[in-house]
Amino acid sequence: MSNITISQIITFIIALAGFIGALSTICSVIKKSIDKGLDKIQVPFYDKINKMDIMQCRIFLINHLEEKLRGVNKSEYEEVLAHEIYEHYTNDLKSNSYVHDLWNKVYKI
């Protein structure tokens, strides 16, 4: 049997710490490159979803407001939904277009 000295244990611990440090650095570099690659995919994807969301809100709101201008009665639930979508359209999506003008005309704001 061989005897293990304290200096061998310390040398092993130092080597292990160096290996763990190197491995941590390699993992960090890999993570950054993966994140960079995902950003290239996610940004266009989120932009498309955002544009689709704006368009869907705009279509719903224009239809709702035009029907109100023509005198079509809306239920309480339809009114609540229209207000929720309008708030999402203006506050969350930060959109302000002709929808805003038509909204003010219909609701006389």
Listed by start position, the domains of the chain span: 6-107
State both tokens at 16.
Answer: 């292990």
Tens digits of residue pLDDT in 64-92: 999 999 999 999 999 999 999 999 999 99
3-state secondary structure of 59: helix
- Helices 98-107 and 6-69 cross at an angle (nearest 10°) of 50
| 42: confidence class by pLDDT, cuts 50, 70, 90 | low
Q: What is the DSSP string of 19-52?
A: HHHHHHHHHHHHHHHHHHHHHHHHHHHHHHHHHH
DSSP 66: H
